[in-house]
Amino acid sequence: MAVIDGTPLSIAEFERHYTKTVGTRVDAADDSLAAYQDFLERWVDFRLKVRSAREAGLDKDSALVAELGGYRQQFARPFLLDKEVVDPLIRAMYDKQQQMVDASHILLRLDQTASPQDTLKVYNRMSAIRDSIVAGADFGETAVRNSEDPSASNAAGGAGYRGRLGHIRGGRLVPEFEDVAFSIPIGQLSHIFRTQFGYHILVVHGRAPAINDIRIAHIMVTPGSPSDSAAAWAEVTMLRDSLSAGADFAALAKAYSDDAGSAQNGGDLGFVTIDGRLLPAIKDAAFALASIGDVSEPVLTPYGIHLVKLLERREPPTLDDSYEDIRRRLSRTGAMDQEEEKYARSVLSDVGHSVDTTAVMTIFGSMSADSAASAIARGALVETGGTLPVVSIADDSYSASDLAGWAMTASVAPSDNAGDYGLGIADAFLVQKAIDYKVSMLESENDEFRQTMADFADGLLLFRVMEDAVWSRATADSTELMRRYNLNPERFRHPDRTRLLGFYSRERSLADSVVTLLKASKNVSQIADSFADTAGTRVRLDTTFVAGPTNSVFDRATELEKGEYTTPLSYNRGFIVIMNDGVEPARTKTFEEARTEIVNEYQSELETTLVSDLRSRYRVRTFPARLVRAFEADRLPVGS
């Protein structure tokens, strides 16, 4: 596609860089040949400027090196953790959300801060319950008698009764519960496991693809008494026949439904989920409806007789749509922290690590746990810990002083034993250093990161070239700017412009006061003086010149006669009264008014000269006609 100083630019390289500017190869393939050709010329110019900067040694400039290092420090760790921890975790959760599990469970509640004695007591009780089920006891009956989930003994028979949670979509429950529910074989009683709520056992009855949420409406007819049941059924049958004949469901719901909460909305219950708290009979009927607009046969519940209509099916969100929501959920559960630690330990296993247990116990073992914690907090061990290595990862070793310095600002779990506390510090330190180690290896192990850092460095170099050769040179050369202006001042002109006076205030009452003063024929200076005495800067007067439509509130005043004004208009989180102060005829701009135009013109010429010189120096040739082959593999056939 191009040759720079004898080095060719391949079509693959062109496609890679072009795709980065538009998002995806599919988007890139939709663009025109003209767009490709324009990008090719601009990209070649960019490469030339960066190359000249490197040859001038700007990439060794201390300020640029420091800025690049600061960017890397901010970017590298999040990049690593997103790739190795967050993205896989979110993908796994998204995949789990596409499945649902039908499970029953038994819960024995246990506070997260329970003592070891209380914890053992609850665990033993759950162990006995599990043994009874293994011996043949019915899970549902056992749940009614023992489970501390209140729904297990709910006589109304809703979700949770007899421990039966029904179908649960992935991502709705705490991770520890889902990890078991989505992994054990169907029909097998789980091991005892703990969540933030206590100890559980569960059994899975089945798994299936997740059913998407649906929006439904219903009509409910409630018999006034048992003797009215036949009349209620007759009324529902009449309504069902009317619907079959084409009657409007919403109108019938408003007229006949005994559910006051939904009747006035045409019976609309909104979106419901397969694992929601909807009555089982209603849920079964609703999710059995095949097509939008279908109406169920009459459904009996403890509240009455229902007809259910399917209004809408919600399409499942894509991974991209779900990404941030899943990320927020996971961050609240602590799953990301757990996965980060798991990843760090896998790094330690891969690259090798060691802890000199004897040395750590010698340093900490002579102190009480409280004394060790105090010494860490005061920084005493930083000075007395010594320089001999006590832990290592890969080829890097660290002393007790290094551990103590790190522990001063780290959160390490306390221990009753100082030696164990020291070993805990060493372990937590190595977990941290494992992440740091992988961060340090990113350029050599990850092509995407390496390219991102290279692109950022190129951007900094481009900025320096343009700053030195174009922007600063143009703005600083006042003599040249004035010379250009004096060559032909008439090139720089204002057209006819409407002069608008704007009285702005955050307070509507003050804007109304401005209108009152204008109606009293007060001139602008009198109004300004009036508010300067009473309201300080709470009313601001600005002059705006408008040469044509602005698509803003100022257009409301351009058609007014001179001296006329608007009512208070909403503007910039406040209110503005705009007065038309007449038309200023076209005129030549002063040098100061024209300065920005002159600078832009001069900068454009300087850049053109710079690029021309660089193209000559590096013997650049481009072949724009060859770009017809760009993205051929991604382009849809004509007529498809």
**Residue 257 in this model has a pLDDT that exceeds 70:** yes
Q: What are phi and psi of 10, to 5 degrees?
A: -80, 165
pLDDT of 298 over the 90 cut: yes
The per-residue pLDDT for 299 is 96
| pLDDT for res 230 | 92
Q: Is the pLDDT of residue 102 over 80?
A: yes
Q: Would you say residue 159 has pLDDT above 80?
A: no
**What is the pLDDT averaged over residues 402-407?**
89
Look at residue 521 in the predicted model and tell me its pLDDT.
84
Written as six digits, the tokens of 329 are 């959920």
Q: What's the whole-number average pLDDT of the chain? A: 92
Task: At 373, list the tokens.
Answer: 């914690």
State how far the Cα of 149 lies from the Cα of 293, in Å rounded to an integer: 37
115-124, 143-152, 414-423: the lowest-pLDDT one = 414-423
Reported as a pLDDT band with limits 50, 70 and 90, residue 474 is very high
Lowest mean pLDDT among 330-334, 389-393, 509-513, 575-579: 330-334
CATH number for the region 496-585 comes to 3.10.50.40
CB within 8 A of 189, min separation 6: which ones? 130, 133, 134, 139, 201, 202, 203
Is residue 185's pLDDT more than 90? yes
The SS3 call for residue 95 is helix
Is residue 537 scored above 70 in pLDDT? no
Which residues 6+ apart lie within 8 Å of 101 measured at CB?
Answer: 167, 168, 170, 181, 182, 204, 206, 207
- 341-350, 391-400, 551-560, 626-635: segment of lowest average pLDDT: 626-635
- Mean pLDDT over 542-565 rounds to 94
Confidence check: pLDDT of 520 > 60: yes
Q: What is the mean pLDDT of residues 622-635?
A: 90
Residues carrying CATH 3.10.50.40, the chain: 99-209, 214-313, 496-585
| Domain topology for 214-313 | Chitinase A; domain 3 (3.10.50)
Average pLDDT of the segment spanning 589-600: 96
**How far is Cα 501 from Cα 577, in angstroms, rounded to an integer?**
8
| 31 Cβ neighbours under 8 A, 6+ residues apart | 22
- Residue range 339-375, pLDDT digits in tens: 999 999 999 999 999 999 998 888 887 788 788 888 8
Closest C-alpha among 278, 320, 44, 325 to residue 158: 278
Question: What is the pLDDT, as a whole number, of residue 421?
Answer: 87
pLDDT exceeds cutoff 80 at 468 = yes
pLDDT (0 to 100) of residue 534 = 54
Has this prediction a pTM greater than 0.85? no
> Is pLDDT above 80 for 532?
no
pLDDT band per the 50, 70, 90 thresholds, residue 379: confident
Q: Is 504 exposed, middle or buried (0-12, 13-18, 19+ CB in 10 A)?
A: buried
Q: Which pLDDT belongs to residue 416?
A: 78
Evaluate if residue 160 carries a pLDDT over 90.
Answer: no
Third-level CATH fold of 99-209: Chitinase A; domain 3 (3.10.50)
In the structure, what pLDDT confidence band is assigned to residue 57 with cuts at 50, 70 and 90? very high
pLDDT given for residue 156 in this prediction: 56
- Return d(Cα 98, Cα 95) in angstroms, integer: 5
What is the per-residue pLDDT across 104-121, written as a single tens digit (0 to 9) for each?
Answer: 999 999 999 999 999 999
Distance of CA 527 to the CA centre of its chain: 49
Integer angstrom CA distances of residue 361 from 342, 357, 368, 405, 421: 26, 6, 12, 17, 9
Lowest mean pLDDT segment, chosen from 390-399, 519-528, 557-566: 519-528
Specify the amino acid at residue 638: V
